[in-house]
Every structure is written in C-alpha cells, then in structure tokens.
Structure 1
C-alpha cells in the first residue's frame, strides 16, 4: 500500500505533491495519464492573439517533483472502504488520498456544439487547439455578428467567456471595424460578475465597446447550418445570428467521481469547504476544479487551497487536529482589453479582497496585463508547481 496517492497531475496535483515532498514525505504517488502539462489560463491570451500556444505546455516529466512516483494511468474509481484507487490498468492502495482530477468538458450537453466547434467561426478557448482557431476567426472578422456565451453551472475560469469578448472587441476597435460588428455577451447570472464592485467596472467595459449584454440567459442550441445560436432568456427562446462565436461547454466532475462514494449529490467531491477534508472519509482530501466547494474555480484558488490540504493531511496522518482553513480565496485576472486588465480578488464573503498593497482593487490597470502574460506564468512554472508559493 502506497502512502499518499494524488489523483491528477494538473496544477492542483503537482502543487500538492511538491509541497508534500518539501514537507519531507517520501511516499507520494501521482496518478496521471497525460505526458503533457498545460498552463490553461494562457489559452485566453492565445485565443485573443496575445500569446503563442506552445508557451502553455511542458512535458509532464519536467514538472513532476523529484522523488515523486508517477503512475501513468487514469483513475476510473475509488473504493474508500478498502482504500484503493482503481486504474485503467490495475489498482493502487493508499493511506491518504488527494483527489484533484479536474473537470470534464461536456461538449455534447450543448446541442450542436460538438459538431460546430472549430469550424465556420465557432470555437472555444477551453482547449489549446480551439484557442488557436478562435484567434483566426477573430482576426478574419471584419463585419457581422459576434456571440460570446457562458453556460450555467460551475465552470473553470468563470471569467474566460468575458475575457475573450473584451479582447476581441478591443482588437476590432484597433482595426477600425468595431462599429461594423454586432457584439453580444450572453451570461446566465443576474449580473456580469458575482461581486458587485467588479460588476460595476465590467458593465462600463461592455458599454465602452458597445457590447449587448444578455443577463439571465444561456445558449441552448447551436445551428451551424444557419449560422445562429438559440438563446434562452427571461422572455423565452430566440435565435441570435453569428459570424464569430465563442462558446463554452458545460462542465462536470469526471464520470468515475460522479458515481463513486466520494461524490456529493452534485457529482463533485464532497469535501468540507474550509478544511478540504472529505465529509465522510477522513483519509481523503480534495481541491481544485473537482471539489464541491462554493469558490470560483481558478488557478489562484488552487494556490490558496494547496497549503491547506497539505497542512491538514499531515496533521491527520499524525492524529492531530486540523490546523488550516481555506477562506474561499480566488482571483480572476479579467482582460478588459489588449493592454488593460481588472484583477478581481474575492473570497467566500463575496467582497473584494486585494492582495496587492496600496492599489485600488476595483480598477482597470495597464501594468496588470504584464502580470497576466509574463509574471503569473513565471510564478506558475517556477514557484507554484515547485511548492514555493
């Protein structure tokens, strides 16, 4: 039986494994089938023509902490009673388990999206190759209608559907064609952002570009043959034509997690939102996009959750009380233009929470765009994945 098994080699899994190694644990195993690790926040900039796709990927072997065992297979289930992770090939036992496999993209849950994405103006920044196509569609557009939409339900990087809308609009403004573009932003919530202070700023950004914002609305069907989407809103369904469309697939926990004893009724991992320990199985912890916690699913949230998981897991292994608590911190660097950015930071309280001293947290800034493109990727590859921040 292995000591600590980590399911998932994404940002959460690698960060936790690195912190465990720095804490002196020599019995850490990471279960991950992919041989490439992706820095997914960069895909928004790829889709907006501000970053190259290769900058978002590195070999998995290069980011795995030294001394961590890598089981290159996919988890297909967990038996928490016998403490076994079921793999695509075989199984592995554990004393403590960290669950962070991310979420799956349910392309087929939006009628017509699976067939439309990547073709004739429809794409999505939620995969690297599709982000490359997104930039091509934006770059080639000179006139017509553009639709940017967000699905209901939890998704990773909830600001991404807005980020690309503002990047595209600013590109068209610079090219002198924004006045010939009819731009629509379709959002399921009652406001453009859940934190009122940031919502007010983003409402102003949308007005600046002349973007039509549809609140309480959702794209429910894609009709590529007619070049239109069907939007369901407060007044029922109506078609909306597009020449360019950025659509986000609905998302959910991996199928094996949904059907496992570890799942909450939502299908996500059933963990305490503060301690990140499973509510029924004390030797299981979880974090990241798969966790059933009410925070925004971002890389910044993972950065805040990882030290809590490690501190509490090590305490549990020694029979001590859990010392650490996660306060729901998350950060969403929202690109409001090709050179401007709003750094939205907040926690479970739903209020702005700035970690940058002496700066107005509710304001667009030009210097923060350098942070998004250069500083954050550097911190991610060189500090976060090494367990240093």
Structure 2
C-alpha cells in the first residue's frame, strides 16, 4: 500500500487491496473513501469486499465514484461536504490517487492559494500543474468547471503507454534524434516483462525477475506523466488526463496494450487463484500455476484458449506443454487426463508449425477440443461449461470436470480506446497495417496490442514495429509522408518441453519470416538453442536493446515513396 499524506487529516493512495484495510487500520485511519466507480478496470478488486473489510475493522467506508477526467463542481462539493463531517484521519483512494488529490485541491481552493495546493500535491507525487488555471478560476468565480480548453503543455511526440510498445518506440526515437521532445503517459509504477510469465508458471523463472520499477525503464530524456488518459481529442491535437489536464502534441503514438476480460467468463473472478483455477496471464497467479503443476499427481487438467484476438496466441498451449513435460518427468502423466479446449478451429494459426506441435500432443496424450469456448466456471464443484460449435455451426453445451485448470481469459481493447474517436468499429486503434499510421488522423500512430493491424500480438511484433513507427513519426514531424513499412512479423517461442522450443516466426498471411538461418535454428522443429534464446537472451534483449533503440535484426524497410493503402492478410488464420 502506497500511502501519501496531503494533510494530517487526509492521505491518498492508488488502488488498495482488501488486505490493505487491516494495514490502514493499524496506521490509525478511521475512514476510507473510494473515488473509483465499480468495475472500472478488469484488475480492480471488488469494492463490496473492501467495504466488508472496513466494517470488520471498524472503519467507516464511503464510496463517492468520480469519472476519470470529468470531475464536476458537484463532485467537488460532495467531497468537501463529506470531509467536513468525516472522522479522521481519512484515506482516500482511486486508480492512481490523482482523482482524490484533485478533489482535495479543488475543495480546498476557497481558502488556500494555487501555489500551496500544487506544491503539496507535488510533494505527495502528483503533478497537478495543469489544474492551476482551474483552481485560480474557482477562487475568482467559484466555478469549478472553468477548466482550460486548450493544452498548457505540448510535446513533439506524446506516447500513451509505458509498456513494451511505448518504451521501445521511445528508445528508437531517441536513438535517431536524442534531443527530441518526448513525453510518456503511464499511470503504473511497475513494468512487467510479460513474455516471462510462461516460464514463471513452468518453474523456470521467479516472478520477481519479470518485474521492474517503471522509473528504471523510463527514458531519462522523456517526460513521464504519472497519470492515466481519460479521452482523446485528435481534432485538437491533445489528450485529456484523468485529472482533467489537456496535454498537446504534434505527433501521438498510442500503445496502451489490451484489457483482459475476466468478467466474460461467468464465475471466473470468484474462483481464480483457488480451487485449482489459475492463469499465467496474471503475474500474481503464475507462481500458483507452478504450485498446482507440482501438486497434481492424478486427475483431470484443463487448458483453455478463448476466441482471437489474444496476446501471444501460443501462451495457452505453452503452459500445457510445460505442465505435461513436468508430469512426464515425474512419472505422473499417465495418471492425468489432459484436455486442450480452444475456441479456435485449429491448434495453431500458421500451418507450418502444426506438425511439430502435434508430435508433442501425441507424446503427452492430450485431447484436443476445437471450437470449444469456455463460458462458465464453478470452482466449488470443479466444473467448467463450454460452448462447442460443430462444422455446421450447431452449438452444444459441454460440461467438464477438472482438478486443475489453466485459463486464458478473453481479451478486448481498453475502454478508453474503444470509446474514442481513434478506434475502429471493433474498438481497436484504426491504423495502416504497413505504416502503423492512423487511417484518419495522419499525426497519430499505434503499435502493440491495441492496434487493429492483423499481426500476432507479441513483444516480438513490437520489436519490429517500433523502428517503423519511429521512422514514420520523424518523417511526419519533418513534413513528409511515412515510408517505413512493417511486414507483420511476430514470433511465438512455443515451449514444447523444458529445454526445447518450436520457434514460430511469421508475418502477414502466415508467411514464414525466420530471423536466423535454418542450419542454426529450424523453427519448424524443436530446438535447444531456441530455448536458450528464450530463457537467457530475450529478457536481456528486451530491456537492454529494444528499449534503448538497438535494432538488431529489426531495421525497418523504407520505401522510396509512401505505400498505397490496402488490406493486409491475417498473420494467424
């Protein structure tokens, strides 16, 4: 829990967990205020559980939901009125703490000057400098909605997202132009090496190896806005942050990743992390996967995959192969019935790699269930309900029991992207599959999981996309049309057993795009060298090369003129 004191009476915090309530009580807090709407994000704890924990600890709980980026006069008045009556000290929380701090600053503006309020917020780790004009307007007129309509701060390049895509494109831009004015908007304080979570679930990596402080990976030459984006205003060349501040740009790069839709499977959130139900798609559960694998000596193991698109389409079966390999080595595999239930019509979207994978399916005795989509989980009875579609389109309900179950959740575009003017009808950022440039707004680009280019959503794809976007951003800043093109490259190191990998590398249309000669690594066959690359080399390349603009085997193709618009073929058919 990250508690930041604003006054002796009020402290604020990013989202707290249920177990943090007891810590808050031990620190002397008498009241806890939540300023987040329920179900604002897929990783948000159930607010009812937090309220119940407060009641159990004798703490007053108050829920005042405030919409990020749209704090109204009524919100400020309600916050101030409650604080006037609340028993202190009070702890207020939201996603990052910014909304709570903004409410406090505006409610206190009637008797404290803007400089004092902004300085106090900054000391607590919140940059509310964009709120200054609104505070001054409130002091002068009492009108809290007198927020500035135009951005007070502007940048040559504004990047939304500090994950793999945002960091990689920043590194490539600064490598080309070290003095470029770049800002990155990212609310999280930790950066996750997500490709490593499969190996955490397989007992190879420790969870801590995949987590770094965001401050350690953020480029020193880029300005970091520790906030979340509320909305895009491309017609004004600006985005609005959750505290209401508008940030302007000449070019915008969008790379916020995607959202895991745990709620799409009935009963999943209630049982996830217990009753033998796990997922490597959540960093805190990957160690639980390994615990379950070691503990399972007999029974039924289910591994599921939802409809596409998902990030790293091979990850659901990677977990399965590593589990089976462990059971085989321990002599338990013959006592375990293993089912792979996938909503897709085949094992893998690029046919060239299927024969090698099928050899392991046969070796491990895995039952394949195609077009079988998980819709409900009952952890207490250890049953799972699937919708199975036959070749004629008929749908049948299938119930399966399990002792262990690894789930890949359905995935979607983040809501602030899906509901924005830069999204296509399906909710993804609408971009050219080659130049990564927005189809409508020419100074906007996207890379990574949030774009609608039909490539595999992997970190390897980002490694190739980042140099393309960097080249094209600089071209646009120089008044030129973008000429760098992306070929749809993506890679999926399929961990078929501990020590061997089928290294799938492919581009648009499923075209094979091997990075190394086949005499060194033949991606269509399991390889020990590919495992060494995955375990020992790729994490280092991710942090020390990709993030720092070293584009080994990733130099972009630059055409003599801007390519004509056309539709690209899906990488994974």
Range of TM-score over shorter length: over 0.9
Q: CA deviation at 1:360?
A: 2.3
Q: CA deviation at 1:35?
A: 1.1
- What does residue range 171-182 of structure 1 map to in structure 2 within 5 Å? 171-182=326-337
Answer with 349-358 or 88-97: which moved more. Answer: 349-358
C-alpha distance after superposition, 1:165-212 (max 9, x if no partner): 000000000111000000001112221011111112111111110000
- What does residue range 182-261 of structure 1 map to in structure 2 within 5 Å? 182-234=337-389, 236-261=396-421
**Contact kept in structure 2, 1:334 and 1:343, CA below 8 Å:** yes
- What does residue range 288-327 of structure 1 map to in structure 2 within 5 Å? 288-327=448-487
Is residue 28 of structure 1 aligned with residue 182 of structure 2? yes
Residue matched to 1:334 = 494
Q: Which secondary structure does the structure 1 equivalent of 2:301 belong to?
A: strand
Q: CA deviation at 1:289?
A: 0.4
Measured in 1, the distance between the counterparts of 2:450 and 2:190 equals 20
Q: Which secondary structure does the structure 1 equivalent of 2:429 belong to?
A: coil
Residue matched to 2:230 = 76
Answer with 204-213 or 223-232: which moved more. Answer: 223-232
How well do the aligned residues superpose, as a CA RMSD in angstroms? 1.0
What TM-score results when the alignment is normalised by the length of structure 2? 0.67
Answer with 322-331 or 355-364: which moved more. Answer: 355-364
Q: Which runs of 4+ in 1 moved over 3 A?
A: none
Measured in 1, the distance between the counterparts of 2:260 and 2:336 equals 29
Answer with 281-290 or 197-206: which moved more. Answer: 197-206
Is residue 141 of structure 1 aligned with residue 296 of structure 2? yes
Measured in 2, the distance between the counterparts of 1:387 and 1:242 equals 46
Q: CA deviation at 1:72?
A: 0.4
Residue matched to 2:159 = 6
C-alpha distance after superposition, 1:81-125 (max 9, x if no partner): 011111112221111100000001111011111111100110100
Measured in 2, the distance between the counterparts of 1:323 and 1:115 equals 49
- What does residue range 75-94 of structure 1 map to in structure 2 within 5 Å? 75-89=229-243, 90-94=245-249
Q: CA deviation at 1:225?
A: 2.0
**Contact kept in structure 2, 1:352 and 1:361, CA below 8 Å:** no
Measured in 2, the distance between the counterparts of 1:41 and 1:2 equals 31
1:111 to 266, 269, 292: 266
Q: CA deviation at 1:145?
A: 0.3
Q: Which secondary structure does the structure 1 equivalent of 2:187 belong to?
A: coil
Measured in 2, the distance between the counterparts of 1:122 and 1:361 equals 32
**Contact kept in structure 2, 1:4 and 1:95, CA below 8 Å:** yes
Q: Which secondary structure does the structure 2 equivalent of 1:2 belong to?
A: strand
Q: Which secondary structure does the structure 1 equivalent of 2:497 belong to?
A: coil
Q: Which secondary structure does the structure 1 equivalent of 2:424 belong to?
A: coil
Answer with 97-106 or 320-329: which moved more. Answer: 320-329
1:374 to 518, 536, 539: 536
**Contact kept in structure 2, 1:32 and 1:73, CA below 8 Å:** yes
Residue matched to 1:95 = 250
Measured in 2, the distance between the counterparts of 1:73 and 1:119 equals 33
Measured in 2, the distance between the counterparts of 1:54 and 1:80 equals 38
Measured in 1, the distance between the counterparts of 2:213 and 2:354 equals 38
What TM-score results when the alignment is normalised by the length of structure 1? 0.98
**Contact kept in structure 1, 2:161 and 2:185, CA below 8 Å:** yes
Q: CA deviation at 1:352?
A: 2.1
Measured in 1, the distance between the counterparts of 2:209 and 2:523 equals 28
Q: CA deviation at 1:361?
A: 2.4
Measured in 2, the distance between the counterparts of 1:91 and 1:145 equals 53
Measured in 1, the distance between the counterparts of 2:446 and 2:285 equals 29
* Bigger radius of gyration: 2
Q: Which secondary structure does the structure 2 equivalent of 1:349 belong to?
A: helix
Measured in 1, the distance between the counterparts of 2:389 and 2:227 equals 45
**Contact kept in structure 2, 1:118 and 1:133, CA below 8 Å:** yes
Measured in 2, the distance between the counterparts of 1:352 and 1:320 equals 32
Extract unaligned runs of 5+ from structure 1.
Answer: none
Measured in 2, the distance between the counterparts of 1:256 and 1:66 equals 27
C-alpha distance after superposition, 1:118-161 (max 9, x if no partner): 00110100111110111111111111000000000211111100
Residue matched to 1:360 = 522
**Contact kept in structure 2, 1:8 and 1:30, CA below 8 Å:** yes
Q: CA deviation at 1:278?
A: 0.3
Residue matched to 1:280 = 440
Q: CA deviation at 1:367?
A: 2.0
1:384 to 512, 521, 546: 546
Measured in 2, the distance between the counterparts of 1:343 and 1:361 equals 5
Is residue 15 of structure 1 aligned with residue 15 of structure 2? no
C-alpha distance after superposition, 1:45-77 (max 9, x if no partner): 001111101110111111111211000001121
Measured in 1, the distance between the counterparts of 2:468 and 2:330 equals 47
Q: CA deviation at 1:321?
A: 2.5
